[in-house]
Structure formats: C-alpha cells, structure tokens
Chains A and B, each alone.
Chain A
C-alpha cells in the first residue's frame, strides 16, 4: 500500500489495461477521488492511452501496448511502465476542480404497465406502492458512474427500506426503465437484458445518438425523481 490519502493498488486488467483500485466499496469520497483522477489523466494523458474508465471505486486505463513501449523503451513491460506512470500521477495532488453540480429532475411513471417488478417488490418489502414512490422520490441521488450501457447511470444510495438484491434471473427491460439493485438505483437507456427490479419508467432519453451530447447524465450529477401519471408520461 502507499502513503496516498486514499489507499489504492494497481493491477493489470488483461495485457492492455491497468486498473487503479481503491477497494471494493461504494463511498462518495472515494468516488470523488476516482473522478478527480479521471480528470487529471484526461487533461494530461501520457502517450498510448486509449480509454479511461472511472467506476465506483476504480479507474481503468486502456492502453496501446506498442505505443507505451515506443515512448518508454526501458522498462520490462508496457504494464510496468503504465503502473509507474500512474504511480507518479497519484503522487501529484489533484488540482482543485470547479465541480459543476447539476441537479437533474427525472419524471418517472410508476404505474403497473411500466413497472413489471413493482408488485413483487412491494410485497417482498412489505410496503405500499405509495410508500415506495415516496421513498424513491424523496432523496436526491449521486451519479457514481456511467457504465454497462451507453448512458447507464449508477446512482445511490436508496433508502434501506427499498434496497433489494438484484433479481436471480435477468429479463428483457424496456428503454427508460427505472430500477433498484441493492442500494443502487438506475435507468436503462436502451432495451436490454437486466437484473434490476423495475419499478417505473421515464419518458426522458438517457441516450440519444442524434444529440450533440448523446449521454444525458454524467458522473457527479445529482438526480431526483418525481412521479408522473400515465397520461403525463404519454404526453411528455
């Protein structure tokens, strides 16, 4: 381990990627460190970086083995080089970022037609539909990461009373579906197989290839859901 404020270790993700891992935890301050480090690297990447992928508590750097070796001919492997370069970066403090905290309000229709798992969910949690909606909409959620599908935002954390482990059997989920898994909540941007409990659907497009910014939500955004009727959904 290292002297860094946030203990981490670097491991290889195959032969062409390295992951800086801050532990197997969901924690907002760790996640902020991940995102700061993402911006640090994105702002000043070293030669050979192909992609940088921040997650809850890890940052992965995909790189081109040949380019890394061409620019750093001395070390044994490209991975060793990348590891050293990342360790140097980690020694530098991250510059203060002006975090543009956006609050995004997302309409959700919780009616049965859009919420295939709601009935089972509320009986398992022994709460009413109204309580579920109240609990899901009263909190603001932090977007920890975007991953899995284009624009899929992992948000948290939901109230303990509506936390539930993901389903055993995934099934096909419609675009816009709002789900809960563990203490996370999220929205499926596209039709996809999914294992989260679907409790509603938003008419918003989380992903739209035709938009200048195809992805609606960003890591660090704050999200609040509000309930709409079926008519409002259809007119949206």
Chain B
C-alpha cells in the first residue's frame, strides 16, 4: 500500500505491547481494540494483527497489489476510486485502487485491516507505534506521503474481478443483550478509583451527575475534560503508582483526564475512577467537544458487560472465518 496523501495522525497499531510496563514501556496499541479486532476478523486475520489506525482527515491510500481489506471503527465516508464503500464489510481491492475518506460521519478512529497483516518489524513483541519513544510500527512515526507499507502475505485468492468488490456480509458490532439498557453512547460506567474518597461529597456528586465535555487537548495519550474544578478533602501527595487505560485522574487544577492508549505506565495524580473495559471501545471513538456522563457501577457488572462483548466478538470472528471460507470456495 502506498500513502499518496498523508492524514493528520495515521499509525500502525496492534493489540498493544505488554509485558514491559515494569521498564516504563507503555503498551500503546489500537485505541479501539474491540473494533480493531472486528476489522481483523472481517479479513480473516488473527485478532492481534497490526492494522492502520487513522484519524480525520485520514490518509489517501493506493493499493500496490490485490488485497482483501476491511474498514472498521469510525465512518469517515470512505470511497474506493470515488465510489462510496461501507464500513464493516470485507472488500476485495485490486492493484492501483485508491481508498479515500471524505467526511467524518461517526466516530473518531477508523481501522484498515488487510488480510495477512502489515509487514513491519516487531519491537518487543509488538508492531504498535510508540510515537513518544519513536519505535515500533512504521519507523516509530506516523505515516507520511510516499510511505510504502508492505503486506505480510501476497493476495491468497484468485483475482476474478476487474472492479473492487464489496462482499455481501457485514459485522454487527452491537452486543445483542446490552444495548437496550446500555444506553446512549455518551454514558460511561466507572469503578471508583483508589483516591475516589479524597473527593468532597459535592465533587463526587458532580462526577456522577454532571456531564463532561472533552477538551481540545484530547488525543491518544488521554482526554482532558472541561469541568468545573473538583475539590478534595486532602492535598496529601500521591506516591507514583500504576495507572491503566480508562483511568480517570484528577489534575492539580481540579480538572479530569481520562488515560487512553498512549498513557504512561505510572502516575502521581489521584485516581478518582476507571472507565470499565466494555466501554473502552465507545470511549475510543469520542472526539473533542463530545459530552459524556459517568455512572458508578461494580466489579461484577463491569466484568459481565466485558464478557458479553468478548462473546459477541468471538461469534463474529467465527462467522467471519466461515463466510470467507465459503465465499472463496465458491469462487474457485
């Protein structure tokens, strides 16, 4: 694949670089792992395969060979050779086909998966780009014009069509039993953090009842919220300790920050709460100006929602594998 026009921040990401946080090496990886894994499933890849993660405006990409691809996550009104194509469908593209994105319709990050995966060197067991450490992914940086990204596999199927073709099945990302009560996209369940009780009663009330706006300073590191400063009952310093994706920290100015994929391994700000794992996917699709609300939940509920989501993912993966096999069998 060749980048013929660079996007604002396009990087190669996989499911993250784990096992090295004791060295301060942060996991990075896709912001929206759930959708990244579904996008991989659509092309028959292993869930952890590296993909392109793109923000809007996203790159314009020309394919240098035939490939089975899929787009997932955000909808940036994609076209191939000028014709609109849907997200969450497998698509067969041919040599010289051009993929473009025109307008952000929904979400903040789109994933492009290619059957067989992307050929970049692993660093510490992962292909994810660590922008800060300038390592991993494509030379440790975001993609630029004229970058040529090699695929790990040649197109494994016979080339039968002159035109690109959208395959007739779609991944339904919604987890069946949860979306009736699982509410609007702006409501996030949180577990109280270790320093939750440092908040004054009024501030706790504010966290659980107010709505919070994502500030302009919202990126892969974290989302800063525009909130009325919160107050604590103590100013005792927090000795640095681990943080995680979804950790909500209280900054010295009383504002909140939600840590995202490029978060540091440890931090010394009070951890008022943590967004539950099942909500990380919709969290990753937020952008500056979006408004969100928090609601306290418990460990049991958090795990149940996560398990439901993972079961749905597994079903999608199995269905995709089956459909791909059947489709190409019939072509041969």
Interface residues of A (CB under 8 A from B): 11-17, 19, 21, 24-26, 38, 50-58, 60, 62, 65-66, 69, 76-80, 145-152, 154, 168, 182, 189-190, 192, 207, 209, 214-215, 219
How many Å from the CB of A20 to the closest CB on chain B? 10
Choose, from B23-31, B66-74, B170-178, the stretch at the interface.
B23-31
How many Å from the CB of B13 to the closest CB on chain A? 17
Name the A residues within 8 Å of B86 (CB-CB): none
Question: How many residues of B are in contact with the other chain, CB < 8 A?
Answer: 50
Q: Max chain A CB contacts within 10 Å: which of B23, B300, B310?
A: B23
Q: Which residue of the partner chain, among A15, A24, A25, A145, contacts B266 with CB atoms under 8 Å?
A: A145
A215 to B22, CA, bound (A): 11
Q: Is the Cβ of A14 less than 8 Å from the Cβ of B24? A: no
Q: Max chain A CB contacts within 10 Å: which of B24, B193, B265?
A: B24
B237 is an interface residue with CB less than 8 A from chain A: yes
A152 to B268, CA, bound (A): 14
A65 to B243, CA, bound (A): 17
B156 is an interface residue with CB less than 8 A from chain A: no
Q: Is the Cβ of A54 less than 8 Å from the Cβ of B22? A: yes
Q: Is the Cβ of A148 less than 8 Å from the Cβ of B300? A: no
Q: Is the Cβ of B299 less than 8 Å from the Cβ of A79? A: yes
Q: Is the Cβ of A51 less than 8 Å from the Cβ of B22? A: yes
Interface of B is mostly: loop
B274 is an interface residue with CB less than 8 A from chain A: yes
B306 is an interface residue with CB less than 8 A from chain A: yes
Interface residues of B (CB under 8 A from A): 18-27, 123-124, 130, 132-135, 140, 191, 193-194, 236-247, 252, 264-267, 271, 274-277, 299-300, 302-303, 306-307, 310
Q: Is the Cβ of B242 less than 8 Å from the Cβ of A58? A: yes
The contact sample of 7 A-B pairs, CB cut-off 8 A, is A21-B194, A50-B18, A51-B19, A52-B21, A60-B241, A77-B303, A148-B240
A53-B191 contact, Cβ under 8 Å, with A207-B133, A209-B123 = no
Chain A residue with the shortest CB-CB distance to B267: A148
A147-B299 contact, Cβ under 8 Å, with A21-B194, A207-B133 = no
Q: Is the Cβ of A209 less than 8 Å from the Cβ of B133? A: yes
Q: Is the Cβ of A148 less than 8 Å from the Cβ of B242? A: no
Q: Max chain B CB contacts within 10 Å: which of A54, A57, A147, A182?
A: A147
A26 to B239, CA, bound (A): 7
Name the A residues within 8 Å of B264 (CB-CB): 147-149
A17-B22 contact, Cβ under 8 Å, with A11-B194, A147-B264, A148-B266 = no
Q: Which residue of the partner chain, among B135, B238, B243, B299, contacts A15 with CB atoms under 8 Å?
A: B299
How many Å from the CB of B115 to the closest CB on chain A? 26
Q: Which residue of the partner chain, among B237, B267, B299, contacts A182 with CB atoms under 8 Å?
A: B237
Q: Is the Cβ of A19 less than 8 Å from the Cβ of B277? A: no
Q: Is the Cβ of A14 less than 8 Å from the Cβ of B240? A: no
A69 to B299, CA, bound (A): 13
